[in-house]
Chain A
């Protein structure tokens, strides 16, 4: 719901371009994504890659965020990224998953073989 047309305008300015430079490929729940995230440490900038399964995308307009889950040294790690954050340098989709839900929170209770996601095939 829109609060005020002027707020819509301010929010629209925050969005990254839908295509071309600075845009992200389309992805959704179940896809395995590689997020290239800018980290600024003691004045130096480097890029860290966080790869994992996207559990879902939530929020609207400039508040849109997505959750990525990966298993790191046997422990589940989840990170929430703001979709339109200037700190996301790049995002790659390394695998498209076939899922029947918008939010894959059930993966948190599964591990190993049970936590696999079938690959999406188009033919």
Chain B
């Protein structure tokens, strides 16, 4: 079954595995998600998906002001029509048409949707690096710092030939805007799920929010939105 979780990147640390190996991990504070909409292949949407909301939107501080920060009146109206609290973030998760009936609007998807050991894909907006040179952007080697090189230590060198073809080929790697785009890291291992479940036994309520420790790096800045999905290309 398709699974998904949203969270905020907290930062990195390291943990010890039981056999003493030190693992670098990224901590992501996740969930809970709320089902805010369903799309059906039979309806006008033409494909089946769930719309999941994350993080309650806040109102403006002023008393009596009923507007929500970052949401238009129309967006707030969508939530109001479904009798839901407005949410800051909405993401879609493609699910099979047959699975749609297992979800209801307003249903909460808890943080322990993913379990320890799951292989996941992690997507986020990478850190914006502005207008970057070719060394940072395309891993060019640059030039030597000495041996007669002058004023061209980080340049890219020649970008083409001569009178034939008399133009620069498309896709030539050159300086430009770098970062700030959606980036996905595939096949990350979810090392640990830290959830505080309340109650015991049958009446146990599943933890709404928690912290995921993901092996390795996650794109983006601390505090950035992180999308976690089941790995599409599981290998091993």
Contacts and interface: CB of A to CB of B under 8 A. Distances in A.
Decide whether A and B assemble into one complex.
yes
A11 B10 contact: no
A84 B16 contact: yes
Contacts of A87: 20
Contacts of B222: 3-4
A4 B14 CA distance: 14
B29 A6 contact: yes
B155 interface: no
B27 A62 contact: no
Contacts of A90: none
Nearest to B210: A6
A63 interface: yes
B213 interface: yes
A86 B13 CA distance: 17
Interface residues of B, number: 17
Interface in A1-56: 3-4, 6-7, 10-11, 14, 38, 40
Contacts of B13: 3, 7, 10-11, 62
B10 A3 contact: yes
A14 B211 contact: no
Interface string B12-33: 1111101110100001010000
Contacts of B211: 6, 10
Nearest to A61: B13
Nearest to A62: B14
B215 to A, nearest CB: 14
22 contacts: A3-B11, A4-B222, A6-B27, A6-B211, A7-B10, A7-B11, A7-B13, A10-B13, A10-B15, A11-B13, A14-B15, A38-B20, A62-B13, A62-B15, A62-B16, A82-B22, A84-B16, A85-B16, A85-B20, A85-B22, A86-B16, A86-B20
Interface of B: 10-16, 18-20, 22, 27, 29, 194, 211, 213, 222
Given A6-B10, A62-B14, 8 more contacts: A3-B13, A3-B222, A10-B27, A10-B194, A82-B16, A85-B22, A86-B20, A87-B20
